Structure 1
Amino acid sequence: MLSADVTRYLSLRRALGYKLIKAERHLQASARFASERGESHVRAATVLTWLPTAAKTPNAMAHRLTNLIGFARFLPIPMKPPHCSEMIAPPDSGMISPPVNGGIISGHGAEQKSATMASA
């Protein structure tokens, strides 16, 4: 999966005029390393494990890390949509939930609901 993302990233950057000859080798190598570990996203721990194996000098590590940072910024953030049960706060939590039951805010006690309705 990361290899395909690297290809998309390089295509976009090259369309903007960048050559990225060395960066392509570095990014593909890091994508292979992550794939061998069964990972489908850029992870800091994996990058820090890969860097010393891919470069011997601090300057070379810095170049590879800079390439990876640009690539990681290009990738979308994986997000899991919340389930409805996660969006509504439990009544005992004290948190304010979206309006339910005809606009009454859940999370308030019965007395507060009565007072709220009476003042409206």
Structure 2
Amino acid sequence: MAYQVNGKVVESTETGYLVNQADWDKAVATEIARGEGLDLTQDHWDVIEYLRDQYFNHSGELPNNRHILKGMQEVWSDRKVDNKTLFDLFPGNPSKQAGRIAGLPESMRKGGY
């Protein structure tokens, strides 16, 4: 599987995760999201940037939905954030779908922590 972005082929796994994380940029993220039926808003970008920060600046951490929820509550302190908020943004599971759009590797956790 591959994505076509600005005339360039970006390779991905059969589940849509980038093979090479260095290929990621906002245009790639937008193309992945478009393929998943999402039109990225600032709220989407806030989650994507949070995930990328956690992964690249915290020893490769791939936050689960609970940790994303806590992180977004800090970012969006002016409003209530709950699971519905995250699933409205990323209906395909926030940690997995947003992680794929953020260009992060696929999480292999099977639930729990």
Q: TM-score range by the shorter chain?
A: 0.3 to 0.5
User: If each structure's helix is expressed as a fraction of its own residues, which one has the higher value?
Assistant: 1
Q: Return the TM-score normalized by structure 2.
A: 0.42
